[in-house]
Amino acid sequence: MTSHIFRTALAEAAPVIATGVAHLRYSGEVRTRDFAFLTLPNFTLLAFSALIDPLRIANQLTQQPLYSWRVVSIDGKPAQSSAGVRIDADQGLERLGRETTVVVCAGTDSSGAADRNVLQWLREHSRHGGRLGAVCTGAYTLARAGLIGDDSTTVHWENLAAFRELFGIEPLEQLYVIGRRHFSSAGGEAVIDMMLALIERDYGRHLAKSVADMCLHSTIRSATDRQTQLFPSATERRNPDLLRVVNAMKMNIAVPLEICELADIFGTSQRQLERSFKRCMRETPKSYYLGLRLQEARDLLRSTTMSVLEVAIETGFSSRGSFSKAFKQRFGFSPLEHRG
């Protein structure tokens, strides 16, 4: 355990209160909430910005020190995002006060970005009562540190299968989760929705809505909203039976259901199921199901150390050869080329 983890905590970060034309009178109690954003190598810049700007706008609208924040990196030096942009750090892994919420900002390096020092630093913060959050693949780091606990969590939809395989935890396929000890967001614009929910919890719905308006975020989505639309919402409303079939496909990847079983779930004949899929999904049930399985295989190849054969079996293929052929036909490159 390295000594720099246990250096004295820095003074609380000074709140940033920018000026602007819009103003919102806030007369309630002000208790500055402090955040520390841990930028791991190749973190996602969009999610990082979506964490900070809603807090900055809340301060700006009210001209009150509602929030303060600092940027933390592993070594206290600038961290490079997946877009190649480097962000300066305010500190390294010094111990923070228990009132500070640490948010792990990760990105394309889902499993290896955090070293042992980071994991120990997060454990120490949690042990002393500090709250934790994660965006994008930051939940991988919390899971590796053993900090998920009884809370639910979420990751980006393309990482769901790998997260499930690596940690034996079923992540929720929703935009964000706010639990008892930690919160998480799948990333992208969903981080804004999560931060608006936190602002509403701290200072009320009116402020959260005003911050959303300043972000030109016209619709505030709830935590339970799905990350991806299986098909257009109007079609979904008209075809709840079709949605039930797609959900059954997603729940049965390793042992795919037969077309007759899908038709039973649909509640009609196989021929009618085929017609409905072609009309709404622009492909057959068999082709759509294959696409779901291959997308999960692609995620497992990228985010785990499973062999190609293991991935093939996990996604319902009887042999490595049949899997590799289907994978190349779908994506234009082989499983080994994708991993390389």
Q: Do domains 3-214 and 233-339 have the same CATH topology?
A: no
The pLDDT assigned to 79 comes to 96
- Side-chain-facing half-sphere of 268: CA atoms under 13 Å: 12
Tell me if 336 sits within 8 A of 276, measured CB to CB: no
Sign of CA dihedral 46, 188, 294, 331: negative
Give pLDDT, residue 111.
Answer: 73
Two tokens, residue 327: 């994978």
The whole-number mean pLDDT for each consecutive block of 10 residues of the chain, a chain of 340 residues, reads 42 76 85 96 96 97 96 96 95 95 91 90 96 95 92 88 86 89 93 97 94 92 74 57 88 93 91 88 89 89 88 94 91 84
Q: What is the reported pLDDT for 63?
A: 94
* Both tokens assigned to 91: 């500190």
DSSP structural state of residue 80: E
pTM above 0.75, yes or no: no
Q: What is the CA radius of gyration of the chain?
A: 22
Show me where the domains of the chain are located: 3-214, 233-339
Cβ neighbour number for residue 65 with a 10 Å cutoff: 15
3-state secondary structure of 114: coil
Q: Does domain 233-339 have CATH number 1.10.10.60?
A: yes
Pull the structure tokens for residue 239. Answer: 């075809």
Strand partners, 68: 34
What was the pLDDT predicted at 235? 52
| Residue 204 zone, left/alpha/beta (φ > 0; ψ -120 to 50; rest) | left
Any idea which architecture 3-214 has in CATH?
3-Layer(aba) Sandwich (3.40)
Q: Which residues contact 20 (CB under 8 A, 6 or more apart)?
A: 60, 61
* CB-CB neighbours of 117 under 10 Å: 16
Give dist(CA 113, CA 49) in Å, integer. Answer: 19
Give the β-pairing of 33-39 and 67-72. Answer: parallel
Burial of 21 (0-12, 13-18, 19+ CB in 10 A): exposed
Give me the residue label for tokens 């080994």: 336
- How far, in Å, CA of 211 to CA of 93, rounded? 31
